[in-house]
């Protein structure tokens, strides 16, 4: 696996896709970044680890339905952004207590 020289500076041109020329993954097989369920995603994340344009990549792909963008899998990112069961249960208890207070 060949990595890009991470000592290169990111482009001054900040157009929507100018950063892609500086991505470590440029020229690699895109299938690596779209693993099927159960396939190992760690090689893709390793490519991203030293990439200069991780933030741009993440922003570019954050609305995608699948894939690894900026070193983060869309699935893992979606799970992090959702409230946990404990958090949801606590909010339900708070709403229930608040509604009891209003009826008293």
- Concatenate the DSSP letters of all residues of 26-67 into one string: TTS-GGGGSPPTTS--HHHHHHHHT-TTHHHHHHHHTT-SSS
Give the CA dihedral 31, 47, 60, 15, nearest 10 degrees.
-110
Q: Distance of alpha carbon 13 from its chain centroid, rounded?
A: 23
Regarding predicted confidence, which is higher, 97 or 34? Answer: 34
pLDDT range class, residue 104, cuts 50, 70, 90: low
- pLDDT for 92: 79
User: Is 58's pLDDT higher than 80?
Assistant: yes
> CA–CA separation, 33 vs 46, rounded Å?
11
The verdict on pTM exceeding 0.75 is no
């Amino acid at each position: 696996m060949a990595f890009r020289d991470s000592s290169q500076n990111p482009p001054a041109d900040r157009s929507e896709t100018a950063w892609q020329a500086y991505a470590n993954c440029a020229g690699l097989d895109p299938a690596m970044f779209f693993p099927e369920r159960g396939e190992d995603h760690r090689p893709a994340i390793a490519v991203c680890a030293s990439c200069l344009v991780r933030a741009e990549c993440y922003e570019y792909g954050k609305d995608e339905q699948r894939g690894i963008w900026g070193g983060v899998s869309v699935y893992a990112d979606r799970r992090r952004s959702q409230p946990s069961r404990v958090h949801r249960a606590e909010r339900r208890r708070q709403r229930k207590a608040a509604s009891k207070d209003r009826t008293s």
